[in-house]
Amino acid sequence: MCKIAICPGSFDPPTDGHINIVERALKIFDKVVVAVAVNTTKVPILTADERVKLLKEIFKNYKKVEVDKFEGLLADYARKRKIITILRGIRNMSDYEYEYQMALANKTLYPELEILFMMTEGKYSHLSSSIIKEVLTFGGEGKGMIHPAVEKKLKEKLEKKR
């Protein structure tokens, strides 16, 4: 049986922390579906299609990675795709508290679902999409934190906003 996991998220923007989780997941799963949440509660800087395009560029040489997007509930998306494993990255206790609640809610909505957590690698533990937005807004460089394609796109977007 093919072992598939969904790595869902806002990916606004995708960071090296996200990439690291997907790469490590590929050692455990036969396939990873990177699923972009279209309607997040946060106001995104990148549109869902821009996030999908960047993730497709990042993972273009990864045969076992599929990039997709979903609207509405993750549990409904997983059920529709007949996938029963969700993989989420954990950086710290506040991630854990949020993830714990989300996992229980998703399990209630779709009882067959199993939600797995992967610890971040130390060097990515500080990395978040919001930190990246802040760094680039104030003229910093994304090297070692984001893919060059992400940096280029974000800089374009921030330039337009000025």
Q: Is 18 a catalytic residue?
A: yes
**Cβ distance to ligand ADP smaller for residue 84 or 90:** 90
Q: Give min distance, CB of 91 to ligand ADP, in A.
A: 5
Annotated active-site residue in 42, 60, 80, 152: 42
**Cβ distance to ligand ADP smaller for residue 1 or 130:** 130
Q: Is 10 a catalytic residue?
A: no
**Cβ distance to ligand ADP smaller for residue 5 or 137:** 5
If phi > 0 it is left, if psi is from -120 to 50 it is alpha, else beta; for residue 111 that is alpha
Q: Give min distance, CB of 124 to ligand ADP, in A.
A: 4
**H-helix or E-strand containing 7?**
strand 4-9
Annotated active-site residue in 18, 51, 88, 153: 18
Distance CA 92, CA 135 (A): 21
Q: Is 81 a catalytic residue?
A: no
Q: Which residues bind ligand ADP (CB under 6 A)?
A: 9-11, 15, 17-18, 21, 37, 40, 88-91, 95, 120, 124, 127-129
Q: Which of 129, 55, 147, 59 is nearest to 91 (CA)?
A: 129
Q: What is the largest CA-CA distance in the chain?
A: 51
Distance CA 17, CA 7 (A): 12
Q: Is 160 a catalytic residue?
A: no
Annotated active-site residue in 10, 88, 129, 153: 129
Find out whether 22 and 7 touch, Cβ atoms under 8 Å.
yes
Catalogue the active-site residues: 18, 42, 91, 129
